[in-house]
Amino acid sequence: MDLRATAEAPSAPHLRDRNDIPDRFKWNLTHIFSDWHEWQTAYDELEAKISKYAALQGTLKQGAEHVLAAMKLSDEIGQLTYKVWYFASLRYDEDQRDNQINAKRQQVQILFAKASQASAWFNPELLAIPLPTIQKWMAASADLAVYRFALEDLYRQQEHVLDDKGERLLSLSSRFSSSPNDSYSALSTADVCFPTVTLPSGGEVTLTYGQYRAILATHRNQADRATAFTEFHELYTANINTYASLYHGVLQRDWFHSQARDYRTTLDAALHGNNIPPAVVENLIETTKAGTDPLRRYHRLRKRVLGLDTYHVYDTTIPLVDFDRKYAYDDVLEWLPASVEPLGRDYQAQMREGLASGWIDVYENPGKRSGAYSAPVYGVHPYMLLNYNDTLDAVFTLAHEMGHSMHTLLSNAHQPFVYSAYTIFVAEVASTLSEALFLEFMLARATDDRDKIVLLQHAIDGIVSTFYTQVMFADYELQAHRLVESDRPVTADGLGDIYFTLMKAYHGDAIDYDDLSRVTWARIPHFFSTPYYVYQYATCFASSAQLMKQLTTGSDTDRSTAIERYLALLKAGGSDHPMTLLQRAGVDLSKPEPVRAVVDQLDDLVTQLETAIDHLKPRSM
Ligand SMILES: [Zn+2]
C-alpha cells in the first residue's frame, strides 16, 4: 500500500528476461507448493472443505461444540485459501501475459464466490442465538473462548443491521449505489480526451495524469509546469457541473445508508466497522490545522531555494537539487537490518533471515506487475514484490514493504489464525515506522550535504503527501457530507469554495493561489470511490510518529518499555479493535499528542533542511 504514486518513469533500456535474473533476486514460491500438481490437490481439498462448511447450516443452536466446529472449519478454509490464492496470484504477477496462469487465478476467484455463498448462513444463524448464551458457552469451553473477540464483534456490528425486510430493501439499492463512482470513472478515465500540449520550453506532450505529475517533478522551467497545471485543470473545469452532480450522488447515497441504518451522521457510519470514535477524526483535523507552521516554512524555503518570484501548487514537487545517486540492492540489504537496531536483536535477526530466504522478487522483467506490495501468505511467510530500480524511492519502498512483512511475520507467529490479519488502521503504522527508522539511519551516515538535502526532501514530501494532504482531504469530505446532512445545496461553486478555503487554511500566504485550484476536488478519485477512507493514512502516520518519538528518545528504561509495547502491537495482529491495540502501545488518537508528534517531526526535518541548504550555498545548487 503506497499513496505516493511515482511519476511516470521512462521504461528501462535493458529489461532482462526473467530467466536471466539470478535466483537470489527472485522469490521462491516452492515454499508454498512445489508445483501446479500440488496446488491442484490443495485446490480440490479447499473445494471439499467449502462443501463441508455449507453442510453445517442449521447446527449452531445445538451447542458450543457445533459453533466451535464451524469456527475451526472456517479457519482451515481460510488458511488453505491463502496458499491456493497466493500461489496462483504471485505466479501471475511474475508475468501477467501468461494466460494459463491467469486462468488458474480466475479459477480461485470463482471458488471464492462459491465460498462466500456457502458461508452466508453463518452470521444470521449465530445472531439468532442470544449473546448471553454464546458467552455461557465460551465460559465453559476454552477452545471456543479463543473466538471471543470475533464473535462478540459480530453482535456489536449487529446494532445497525435491519430486519429481513429492511435488509432486503437495502440490498436492492446496492445495485445502483456504485453508479456515481462508475460514472465518475467513465467521465474522468474512459471518456476523457487528454489534451496534447506544446510546452513553453518546446516539445509536445499528451497530458495524462502520469505525464502531468512527471512534468511537475522534472521540468525546471516554471512556465512548463504552469502550462501543464492550467491545461490539466481545464479538463476538469470543462465538466465541473457534471463532476459536482456525481459527487452530490455519492454524498446523498452515503447519507441515505447512514439514515437507513440509524446512524447519527455519515462519519459515524463510516467509523462503526472499526469501532473508531468520531472524535478521532475531528481531533485529527483540528490539531493538524493548528500545526501548519512547519508546512508553511517548508514552502517558503522552497520558494527561496528555487529562486522563484511567485510560488504555486505546481512548484511544490520539483526537487530542490539535482541528484542521480544509485543505491545498489546489495548495499540496502545491509542497511535495512542495521536501521531497525532500535527494535532489538531478535527483530533484526528475523529481518536478515527474511531478506536472504526467497521472500522478495526484486527486479522488473517483461510482463511483471508494476508497483510494490507485501503479500501475507499465512502458513508460509510474507512475500514482497518490488520493481527495484536503484533510486531512493525504490529503497524507501523496500523499507515500507519490509515493515508490512515484519508485521505479518510477528502477527502470524503470535496470533491464532482468526486474528492473524490486521486492519489498514494499524497496517500503515508498521510500514511508516520502518521508513522513519530507515531515514534516521541514512541521515546519520550521510556526509554529503546534497545527500542530506535529498533525504530530507524525500521525508518531508512523504509527510506532506501522506499526512497533511490526507487530513485536508478528510476535512473536505467531512464538510461536503455535512452539506447534505443539514439539507444544504451541493453545487460546483460550493464544493470549490470548501476546497479553496481549506487550501488557504493550510498554506496561508506561503503559496500563490490560482483560481483553477478550486476544481482540484474533482480529480481526487478517493472522494468518489472510497469516502472517509484516506484519513486512516494520516492516523497511521500520526501513530507511527508518536511511537518513533517514544522509541528513540527518553531514558533507557523508557525506550525498552516502548520497544516492548511496539512489538506487542505488531504481535497483536487483529485481535482487538485498532484503537484499543494502539492505546496499549501508548498511542491515544483521541488526544492531540500523536498529531503533534508529526508536526514536531516536520518542524525538525525542515530545520535540518535549512541547515543543510545553508552549508551547500557556497557551491552551486
Ligand atoms: Zn503500505
- Per-residue confidence (pLDDT) for residue 117, from 0 to 100: 86
Distance of CA 404 from the midpoint of ligand 1 (Å): 7
Distance of CA 396 from the midpoint of ligand 1 (Å): 11
Q: How confident is the model at residue 173 (pLDDT cuts 50, 70, 90)?
A: confident
Longest dimension (CA), the chain: 82
CA angle 572, 578, 579 (to 5 degrees): 120
Distance of CA 403 from the midpoint of ligand 1 (Å): 8
Could you tell me which residues come within 8 angstroms of residue 549 by beta carbon, excluding any fewer than 6 positions away? 597, 600, 601
- Per-residue confidence (pLDDT) for residue 189, from 0 to 100: 86
Distance of CA 429 from the midpoint of ligand 1 (Å): 9
Distance of CA 541 from the midpoint of ligand 1 (Å): 11
Instruction: Summarize the confidence of residues 170-198 as an average pLDDT.
Output: 89
Give pLDDT tens digits for 40-55: 999 999 999 999 999 9
Distance of CA 1 from the midpoint of ligand 1 (Å): 3
Q: If DSSP codes are grouped into helix, strand and coil, which group holds residue 385?
A: strand
Nearest to 289 by CA among 153, 425, 426, 474: 474
- Per-residue confidence (pLDDT) for residue 9, from 0 to 100: 42
Distance of CA 42 from the midpoint of ligand 1 (Å): 30
- Per-residue confidence (pLDDT) for residue 5, from 0 to 100: 40
Q: How confident is the model at residue 554 (pLDDT cuts 50, 70, 90)?
A: confident
Give pLDDT tens digits for 444-457: 999 888 999 999 99
Nearest to 243 by CA among 518, 521, 554: 521
- Per-residue confidence (pLDDT) for residue 14, from 0 to 100: 66
Q: How confident is the model at residue 618 (pLDDT cuts 50, 70, 90)?
A: low
Please report how the helices 392-414 and 556-571 are oriented relative to each other, as an axis angle in degrees rounded to 10: 70
Q: How confident is the model at residue 6 (pLDDT cuts 50, 70, 90)?
A: very low
Distance of CA 401 from the midpoint of ligand 1 (Å): 6
Distance of CA 169 from the midpoint of ligand 1 (Å): 37
**pLDDT top residue among 558 and 14:** 558
Distance of CA 567 from the midpoint of ligand 1 (Å): 18
Instruction: Summarize the confidence of residues 417-431 as an average pLDDT.
Output: 94
Q: What is the H or E stretch that residue 381 is in? A: strand 381-385
CA distances from residue 6 to 94, 96, 210, 321, 506 in whole angstroms, order as listed = 21, 21, 8, 18, 24
Q: How confident is the model at residue 323 (pLDDT cuts 50, 70, 90)?
A: confident
- Per-residue confidence (pLDDT) for residue 10, from 0 to 100: 42
Distance of CA 395 from the midpoint of ligand 1 (Å): 14
Distance of CA 428 from the midpoint of ligand 1 (Å): 5
Distance of CA 397 from the midpoint of ligand 1 (Å): 9
Distance of CA 273 from the midpoint of ligand 1 (Å): 21
- Per-residue confidence (pLDDT) for residue 549, from 0 to 100: 92
Q: How confident is the model at residue 542 (pLDDT cuts 50, 70, 90)?
A: very high
- Per-residue confidence (pLDDT) for residue 610, from 0 to 100: 96
Using the predicted structure, report yes or no on whether residue 8 has a pLDDT greater than 50.
no
- Per-residue confidence (pLDDT) for residue 167, from 0 to 100: 85
- Per-residue confidence (pLDDT) for residue 482, from 0 to 100: 98
- Per-residue confidence (pLDDT) for residue 114, from 0 to 100: 87
Give pLDDT tens digits for 365-385: 999 998 999 999 999 999 999
Give pLDDT tens digits for 264-312: 999 999 999 999 999 999 999 999 999 999 999 999 999 999 999 999 9
What grid cell was written down for 114? 462459491
Give pLDDT tens digits for 202-247: 989 999 888 999 999 999 999 999 999 999 999 999 999 999 999 9
Distance of CA 451 from the midpoint of ligand 1 (Å): 25
Distance of CA 427 from the midpoint of ligand 1 (Å): 7
Distance of CA 420 from the midpoint of ligand 1 (Å): 17
What's the whole-number average pLDDT of the chain? Answer: 93
The radius of gyration computed from the CA coordinates of the chain, to the nearest angstrom, equals 26
Distance of CA 457 from the midpoint of ligand 1 (Å): 20
Nearest to 408 by CA among 440, 433, 431: 431
10 Å CB burial of residue 347 (0-12, 13-18, 19+) is buried
Relative to beta strand 360-361, strand 381-385 is: parallel
Distance of CA 219 from the midpoint of ligand 1 (Å): 29
Give pLDDT tens digits for 89-139: 999 999 999 999 999 999 999 998 888 888 889 999 999 999 999 999 999
- Kindly tell me the number of DSSP H helices and DSSP E strands found in the chain: 27, 5
Distance of CA 568 from the midpoint of ligand 1 (Å): 20
Distance of CA 38 from the midpoint of ligand 1 (Å): 31
DSSP 169-206: HHHHHHHHHTHHHHHHHIIIIIS--PPEEE-TTS-EEE
Could you tell me which residues come within 8 angstroms of residue 530 by beta carbon, excluding any fewer than 6 positions away? none
Distance of CA 402 from the midpoint of ligand 1 (Å): 9
Using the predicted structure, report yes or no on whether residue 2 has a pLDDT greater than 80.
no
Distance of CA 338 from the midpoint of ligand 1 (Å): 21
Distance of CA 74 from the midpoint of ligand 1 (Å): 28
- The sign one gets for the Cα dihedral 533, 534, 538, 541 is positive
Distance of CA 374 from the midpoint of ligand 1 (Å): 8
Give pLDDT tens digits for 148-172: 999 999 999 988 988 888 888 888 8
Residue whose grid cell is 512523504: 462
Percent of the chain predicted with pLDDT > 90: 86
Instruction: Summarize the confidence of residues 576-601 as an average pLDDT.
Output: 95
- Per-residue confidence (pLDDT) for residue 298, from 0 to 100: 98
Give pLDDT tens digits for 466-514: 999 999 999 999 999 999 999 999 999 999 999 999 999 999 999 999 9
- Per-residue confidence (pLDDT) for residue 366, from 0 to 100: 92
Distance of CA 383 from the midpoint of ligand 1 (Å): 14
CA distances from residue 345 to 281, 350, 416, 558 in whole angstroms, order as listed = 36, 9, 25, 18
Question: Cα–Cα distance between 230 and 19 in angstroms, integer?
Answer: 45
Nearest to 278 by CA among 288, 265, 291: 265
